[in-house]
Structures are given as structure tokens and as C-alpha cells.
Amino acid sequence: MKTVKEKKKKRVVKSNAMNRLAGIGTLICLIFLLLVIRLGYIVFVKGNEYKDRADTQWNQEIQVTAKRGNILDRNGKYIAASATVYRVDFDIEALLTEATEEEIDVKEIAQSLADTLDMTRDEVLEIIESGQPYPNLIRGIEQSKADEVKSLNIYGVTVSNDVKRYYPNGHYLAQALGSVNTDGQGLTGIELQYDNYLSGVPGLKIEGVDSNQNTMPFVPYKFTPAIDGKDVVLTIDENIQYFAEKIAQKGLDENKAKGASVVVMNPNTGEILAMASKPDYDPNEPLEGYDSFEGTDDNEKIQSMWRNNIVSNAYEPGSTFKVITMIAAMEEGVVSENDTFNCTGSVNFGGTVVHCWDLNGHGVQTLPEILKNSCNPGFMALGEKLGKVKLNEYIKKLGFGTETGVDLPGEAVGIVKATEEISEIDLGTIAFGQTNSVTIIQLMTAFNAIANGGDLIQPHIVKEISHTDNNGNTIVDEVIEPTIKRNVLSEEKTSILRGYLERTATQDGEPGSFVQGYDIGAKSGTAEKYDAAIGGYSNTKYIASMIALAPVENPEITVFISVDEPSTGKYYGGQVAAPLVKELFKMIFDYIESPLANNEYSLARDIIVPDVRGMNKVEAEKVLEDNGLTIKINGKGDSIVSMDPYPGTTVKEGAEIELSTRGSNIDKKVVVPDLKGKTRENAKALLENLGLTCTFEGEGDVYYQNTPKGTVVEKGSLIKLTLKKESEY
């Protein structure tokens, strides 16, 4: 039997064990509570921070560059286009962290990249040490170089798609076309003016990556596709532009001139068919070749090189402005054809002696003769008959002193002297083309009103905005219609003046002698340049120019050519610019292959082919004929099932549209569309609509089609499609 003492000892031991267990339990509960609190702190307080850090480490954000829209001429020829290239960027924090953990010298990384990309190690290090978190290392590299960089497996170095702008014709249309910066944004010209249309909207791809920044194939990713930019179709005709470039270069070289400019327009629509200035630059390399241009520093020289002189430079026009003075006097009825003007070689006007270019004088002349002889005293007399109020009224009505509204950046307005500031001598000099300054585009816009019968039409260089749909079809989004600002002149007076211009252009008054067989009206000009150094007009610096139209009765083309500071001894517009105008007209007439001699010439309008599919033959014929198109029908059915060219295509007025009805041979054949990138469902629906069948292999979107796009196949043909997920590309 246990003693009382033994029992008491047993109870104490048991009590101590219980206390220890209780203490341990309390400690465990306390630890668990602390863990719960810590977990709660991590989840609810620091959760977003840790999530962001994890996302940064294991997710990669890649901006998907939108493809910049193309720029095309009026006939669909590419003038500017974009191609896929690649760029290399740094994530500096990731790069340096990895280098530290792996004990890699950053200089070794820089050397590896430098060797691969044909750079120096110092160039790479400078970018790494720039202080930027995500600096760009290089852009515009080809795929082979991009693959080499990827093969280096450097954590913190990202290779992604990029877009490079190409101008396949080099210097062609340079100042008007403009260029883009390294980010693909418009810098100057059309690229700047229409940047909102061309640029598109970038997309974003977020994907999972491993420690070497390789994409993890089974990790879902988020993808917001880019929206590509729209195409801009110009009024420019590629061939006429080529002629203008050639003539401008010839004017520059043969006259050893400072510059030369050429503009060709359709006066009835305001469309600019060609615009060339020399010297120029290559938009592919917009920062090269500026040394020879004027400027006190590099930036000024670059701006001078980029400047579009036709739009942005104002000058005193000289005798080409005399057509403005003459039409104003004719409209106001202060002069008639048989009025006479006596030129003795000089005239005292407001106490100042002004000489005619012919110091011997022209003698007694009629109104058409003072234009043909370009007689300064004769035009001073016209200015006097008009008076400063009326002369200025017509100058402003015809658009001088204000912007024309041409869709190009940097338009200058020139200087028109206020009516109240015009002195007696100013009235005379303004009348023959001095004192006021104008831009070439202003002068052409006013001259176009004389050519088209009196309408002041806003000049424009863009014809339409379009895009290509998923089926490869061109869809026109916006058409730039001619904008008539106002009617400023009468058909009667402008027709008479065009007749005077024809006499001015011809030799001995014989029609068609300027360019043999063609009725052309023209006026030359020789502008003295103002020299600030001497405080007056230079007797050695001139701008030789000519403005012209054809055919005289119903003009369809207007031309302006100027040569700035010719230095070979010849400087009159008739000596320098007239031969260039003749040569340009010959080129244009040969290209058009439509004789102007009988005034039958007409620049065919561009027509957007309307969609007549589903209509019966009678309805389709009426719609197409109403749009100035001709028709050829295949098949004996009544319902139109297909068209060639496709609806939305731009063709010339009078073009033949081939229609196919049910039952025709064409109805039994179809063209295989481009299916790459389409979803399984979209591809199937598209092929079924065309009467084709298909099979699929794989998962994802269409990656490959066994029958290439554009192939003509029989209806019912089988198209085999291979699918891939984008992460597998």
C-alpha cells in the first residue's frame, strides 16, 4: 500500500506535467496566432505589393506596336510603308539583380551585347548606367540579330517587335511627304499632318516567363491586339511626280541655281498631282545631308532642309502676278481689249521713275499685248485704273494674305500691304508683282480660279483614307472631296484671259507653238529679290518662273515652275523657266496619251467601285454606268455573284468592271483568301461562304494554309489549315 507521501508526490508530478502541456499548448497557440496575424498582414496589408513584385518577376509586359499605315499615290503605288523589325530594351533592376546573384560582371554582359549588335562596350554601358529603369538599347535590327540577342539568354534584356518606316523612292516627294522619328511618329509633311490616321493604337501582351525570360508555354497570357494605322492615299500621280522631280533637278543643275520648285495641279478639283523642290533629302535618313543648307546651327540647317518651300516660303512673285491685276481690271470693267497703253521704256509714278524691262519701250499696246510683253508701265496703268481699294479687294478675294488650307503643315500666309498704307508708288509696284509677298501654293490656287472659270478651290494633297479588312479588301473610310471656298470670278472674263495667256505663250501669235499641237496658256515672271544688306532690290539675284494651264478652253492641268537665283547669266522667266515648262508638258502629254490639240483632253476621274453583288443585271448595269464605269457580264444568270475589280477598289472613270452571274464559269471558281491569324470559327465561316471545305490540325488560330492566298480553285475544294496558339509562334 502506497503511503500518503508517495501519493502526494505523484499528484505533484502529474500537476507539473499538466502545467507543461498547458504552457506548450499556449505557446503553440501563440505561435499560431502570430502566424495568422503575419499571414493576415501579408495578405491584406502587403498583398498588393508582393503580387506586384511577383508579377514583375514572372510576368513580362510587351507593347505590341501598331503597324503604321501606308502612304500611296492616287493609283495605289507605295510611297511610304512600314516593315517589321526588332528592338532590344533593358529592365535595369532585373539585369543588375541577376548579375549580382550570378556573380556576373555587367561589363561582360555589355561586351556580349556589343559584339552581337556591332556596338562598342562603352556605348552599351552608357545606356545601362543612364539612370532610366527601362532604356532602349537599339531599334530597327533584323530578325537574325534579334535571334542572336535572344540566344544570349540575358535576364533583363527584352527583344520585341518593332516597326521601321521605309520610303522606297528615296528623295521622291521628300519635303511634302516628310518623315518619322525613331518612335514612328510623324515629324514633318504628310507624315505629321495625317499622323492621327497613320499611327494606329498600340496593343499589349502580358506573358509568364521563367528565370531566363523564356515564355512559359502553359501559363495563360493577356493580349490586347494593336489597331493598325489607316492608309493615306494621295492625289499625287507617281509618274507625273517623277517628271516633276526630274525637271526640278534639271532646273537646279543647268542653271547652277540655289533652288528649284515644280507644282502640277488639277484646277477643277484642287488636287496636287506633283510637288517637287530641290535641293531635298532622303526621308529614309532625315538627319543626313543638311550641311549645305542655310542656317546658323545644325538645327536651323535641318529645319531648312525639311522645309517645303512651295507651302512655307513667301516671296515677291514678279510678273506671274500680272494675271491677278489683269483679271481684277477686267472683272471691274475698267479696261477693254482694245484700250491702248503707251510704253516709252519708263514712267514717272508718284515721283519715282520706274523702268520697263525693255528700256526702249514697247510703244502703243492693247490689253492682250501688255500681258504678252509683260510691260510694267502698262500694268501700273491698270493699277491706277483700279485704285488701291479695288485692287486689294481682289487680291484678298483670291486668297492672298491668308492660308489656302492646303493639308500640309507650316503654311505661310505672305504679306499683303494694308489698303490704307498703300502709297501711289506701292499701287504701281503691287500691280506688276512687287511689294506684296505670296507663297507658290497661294499663287497656284488663285491661278486655278482663272483656269476653272472663277471658283477658289482649296488645294489638297490627300485623296482618301482607307484600310485593309481581314479579307485583304481595301475599304475606303473617307474621301476628300473638292472644297469650293467661294466663286470669285466670272466664266466670261476668265475665258477671255485664258485666250490672252495662250497668245502670251505662243510664238508670233500662232496657237499650239509653245508645245507643238497643244493649246497652252502661260505667263512668265522674273522677280527681283529684295536684299536687306543694301536696303533694296538686288540686280544680281532673281527668281525666274512661269505659270501655265492646258488646254486653254477647258483647262485640266496647271503648272508652276520657279528657279531661285540662276547663276549662268540667264535669269528671265522666259529664258530659264519656259523651257522647263515645255519639257514638263511634253512628258505629261506623252504619259496621258490623250492629245490636247482639239481640247478633248480630260484627266479621268478616280471612281470607287460600288458593290452590286446580289443585284440583278439591270440594276447592276445602271449603278455602274451612273458611276462612269463600263460593264462586261459573264454567265446567263440574272443575279450578280462576283465582281472584278472588287468593291471598294479605286479605278479610273471608264474602267471595265467584270460581273459574273450564277451559272457562269467564274461562279464555279473562287479565290482562296488569306486566313493566317484568323480564329478557327472565322476561317471556317469564311471558307464555307465561298463554297469551300476545310480541315484543321492543332489548336489556336490559323498559322498555315496548304493552298496559298490568291489561288483560284474550284468550289468544293478542300483547304487544310494548321492552327497554333500565339505562345507557340
DSSP-H helix ranges across 506-572: none
Report how far residue 437's alpha carbon sits from residue 376's, in angstroms, rounded to the nearest whole number. Answer: 18
Report how far residue 567's alpha carbon sits from residue 258's, in angstroms, rounded to the nearest whole number. Answer: 9
Report how far residue 300's alpha carbon sits from residue 645's, in angstroms, rounded to the nearest whole number. Answer: 48
Nearest in space to 331 (alpha carbons), one of 385, 372, 370, 373: 385
How many CA atoms lie less than 13 Å away from 76 in the CB half-sphere?
12
Partners of 660 in the beta sheet? 634, 642
Taking residue 613's Cβ as centre, other Cβ atoms within 10 Å add up to 14
**Top CATH class, 64-232:** alpha beta
C-beta of residue 526 within 8 angstroms of C-beta of residue 544: yes
Report how far residue 468's alpha carbon sits from residue 684's, in angstroms, rounded to the nearest whole number. Answer: 20
Report how far residue 441's alpha carbon sits from residue 373's, in angstroms, rounded to the nearest whole number. Answer: 25
51 to 48, 95, 222: CA distances (angstroms): 5, 20, 17
Nearest in space to 477 (alpha carbons), one of 196, 184, 159, 99: 196
Mean pLDDT by 10 residues, the chain (729 residues): 56 64 79 78 65 56 78 92 86 85 85 90 90 87 87 87 84 94 90 93 68 51 78 95 95 96 97 97 91 90 94 95 97 94 88 86 93 94 96 97 96 95 94 95 98 97 92 88 95 96 75 74 92 85 95 94 95 94 92 50 58 74 81 77 72 78 59 80 79 86 83 82 74
Give the chain's count of helices (H) and strands (E).
Answer: 21, 33
pLDDT given at position 200: 85
DSSP 8-state assignment for residue 375 = -
Kindly state the cell numbers that stand for 164.
521601321
Nearest in space to 659 (alpha carbons), one of 692, 606, 615, 689: 615
Partners of 346 in the beta sheet? 355
Q: Where are the domains of the chain?
A: 64-232, 244-282+311-593, 604-667, 670-728
Pairing of strands 656-661, 630-634: parallel
C-beta of residue 277 within 8 angstroms of C-beta of residue 260: yes
DSSP 8-state assignment for residue 507 = S
The single residue listed with the C-alpha cell 497661294 is 442
538 to 295, 317, 527, 535: CA distances (angstroms): 21, 15, 10, 9
Report how far residue 26's alpha carbon sits from residue 22's, in angstroms, rounded to the nearest whole number. Answer: 6
DSSP string, 38-68: HHHIIIIISHHHHHHHHHHHHEEEEEEPPPP
Q: What is the pTM of this model?
A: 0.71
Query: Does 64-232 match 604-667 in CATH topology?
Result: no
Report how far residue 319's alpha carbon sits from residue 71's, in angstroms, rounded to the nearest whole number. Answer: 37
Residue 319 annotated to the active site = yes
Q: Is 7 exposed, middle or buried (0-12, 13-18, 19+ CB in 10 A)?
A: exposed
Report how far residue 467's alpha carbon sits from residue 340's, in angstroms, rounded to the nearest whole number. Answer: 60
Which listed residue (82, 112, 312, 319) is catalytic? Answer: 319
Q: Which amino acid is at 637?
A: G
- Phi, psi values for residue 530, rounded to 5°: -75, 135
Q: Which amino acid is at 542?
A: Y
C-beta of residue 689 within 8 angstroms of C-beta of residue 665: no
What stretch of H or E contains 229? none
Sheet strands side by side (includes 640-644): 630-634, 656-661, 640-644
Give the CA dihedral 528, 531, 532, 533, nearest 10 degrees: -160
Q: Which amino acid is at 518?
A: Y
Which 3 state secondary structure label does DSSP give 564?
strand
Nearest in space to 248 (alpha carbons), one of 273, 277, 274, 272: 277
Angle at 21 between CA 18 and CA 23, to 5 degrees: 110
Kindly report the CATH number that applies to the domain delimited by 604-667.
3.30.10.20
Q: Dihedral of CA 384/385/391/393: which sign?
A: positive
Give the CA dihedral 279, 285, 288, 289, nearest 10 degrees: -20
Report how far residue 379's alpha carbon sits from residue 382's, in angstroms, rounded to the nearest whole number. Answer: 5
Name the CATH code of domain 670-728 (choices 3.30.10.20, 3.30.70.60, 3.90.480.20, 3.40.50.300): 3.30.10.20
**CATH fold of 244-282+311-593:** Beta-lactamase (3.40.710)
Residue 651: alpha-carbon gap to chain centroid: 21
What helix, strand, coil percent values describe the chain, rounded to 5?
35, 25, 35
C-beta of residue 228 within 8 angstroms of C-beta of residue 184: no
Beta strands in 284-332 (DSSP E): 314-315
DSSP 8-state assignment for residue 278 = E
C-beta of residue 657 within 8 angstroms of C-beta of residue 632: yes
Instruction: Please provide the size of the chain in residues.
Output: 729
Kindly state the cell numbers that stand for 635.
454567265
- Phi, psi values for residue 518, rounded to 5°: -125, 140
Report how far residue 280's alpha carbon sits from residue 697's, in angstroms, rounded to the nearest whole number. Answer: 54
